[in-house]
């Protein structure tokens, strides 16, 4: 049943992508193993990026079980779909339960999707390594599953935080699947996380550098990275905004 629901959702996503005239380019899918357990670690810039990371995996015949915050599962809209597709809820107060579920999925030969940045980054580049969670590395080391980095760029132009969205047709979306990271003998989760961060940051930087639709006036483009002259917040500014957003979500109601 989860796979049936998942495949129906995939078809609906493809209809949406065609309706929006998205120019999607996916490269490197050969790096994703066609069978067996895999930990996919992706950057997080949009509410929709899981669709495109999932699309890359589908091209290898794989379905990704994404780890997502508990509130997504509580939503009347997304909750039933997330549960029906066997995605994995993460309760920050009880993270050990999510870890056990992810380990079980991997030992069953599934692909588990993780966002080491935890929350959507407003700088539209990979967050600093200090803000990277170690969960993906822990899962890979505990199970021996390949740790596959997946970078994407351009999805935030469609729908992201702070009410930024656009239905304008023809947006370019780039997705890049990297070669699996192989743990070194005796490597710690912290060290593997540093290597994952370096690889994912370099991949995102590569995608930005060859993005086919750069802005005519970067200084006026909210979606273009500050380190390339764009109007997006710097990493430091984005960090402050991200922390404020988390406090608002966690505040008593």
Question: Residue 184: what pLDDT?
Answer: 87
The CA distance from 173 to 136, in Å, is: 24
pLDDT band at residue 72 under the 50/70/90 scheme: confident
Q: What is the mean pLDDT of residues 57-84?
A: 90
The string of pLDDT tens digits covering residues 208-253 is 999 999 999 999 999 999 999 999 999 999 989 888 877 776 665 5
**Which pairs from 180-186 meet CB under 8 Å and 24+ separation?**
180/31, 180/33, 180/146, 180/147, 180/148, 181/140, 181/146, 181/147, 181/148, 181/149, 182/146, 183/140, 183/141, 183/147
Instruction: State the residue range of the domain holding 18.
Output: 2-250
Q: What is the CATH number of the domain that holds 146?
A: 3.40.1130
- For 162-193, the DSSP string reads TT-B---TT-EEEEEEPPPBPPPTT--HHHHH
Question: Domain tally for the chain?
Answer: 1
Question: Residue 127: what pLDDT?
Answer: 96
Whether pLDDT at 32 is above 90: yes
Question: Residue 234: what pLDDT?
Answer: 95
Q: What percent of the chain has pLDDT over 90?
A: 79
pTM for the model stands at 0.94
pLDDT band at residue 31 under the 50/70/90 scheme: very high
Q: What is the mean pLDDT of residues 113-137?
A: 96
Question: Residue 46: what pLDDT?
Answer: 96
The string of pLDDT tens digits covering residues 131-154 is 999 999 999 999 999 999 999 999
Question: Residue 110: what pLDDT?
Answer: 97
Question: Residue 76: what pLDDT?
Answer: 84
Question: Residue 1: what pLDDT?
Answer: 54
Tokens encoding 196: 């994952």
For the chain, the average pLDDT equals 93
């Amino acid at each position: 049943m989860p796979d049936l629901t998942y495949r129906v959702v995939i078809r609906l996503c493809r209809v949406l992508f065609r309706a929006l005239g998205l120019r999607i380019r996916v490269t490197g899918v050969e790096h994703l193993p066609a069978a067996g357990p895999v930990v996919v670690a992706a950057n997080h810039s949009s509410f929709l990026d899981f669709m495109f990371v999932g699309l890359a995996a589908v091209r290898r015949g794989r379905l990704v079980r994404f780890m997502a915050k508990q509130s997504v599962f509580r939503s009347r809209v997304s909750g039933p779909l997330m549960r029906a597709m066997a995605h994995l809820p993460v309760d920050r107060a009880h993270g050990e339960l999510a870890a056990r579920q992810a380990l079980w999925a991997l030992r069953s030969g599934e692909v588990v999707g993780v966002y080491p940045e935890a929350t959507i980054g407003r700088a539209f580049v990979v967050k600093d390594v200090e803000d990277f969670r170690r969960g993906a590395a822990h899962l890979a080391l505990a199970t021996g599953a390949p740790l596959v980095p997946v970078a994407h760029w351009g999805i935030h132009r469609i729908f992201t935080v702070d009410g930024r969205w656009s239905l304008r047709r023809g947006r370019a979306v780039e997705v890049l699947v990297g070669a699996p990271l192989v743990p070194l003998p005796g490597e710690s989760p912290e060290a593997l996380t540093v290597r994952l961060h370096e690889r994912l940051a370099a991949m995102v930087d590569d995608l930005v550098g060859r993005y086919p639709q750069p802005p005519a006036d970067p200084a006026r483009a909210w979606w273009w990275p500050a380190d390339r002259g764009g109007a997006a917040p710097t990493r430091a500014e984005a960090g402050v905004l991200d922390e404020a957003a988390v406090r608002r979500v966690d505040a008593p109601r």
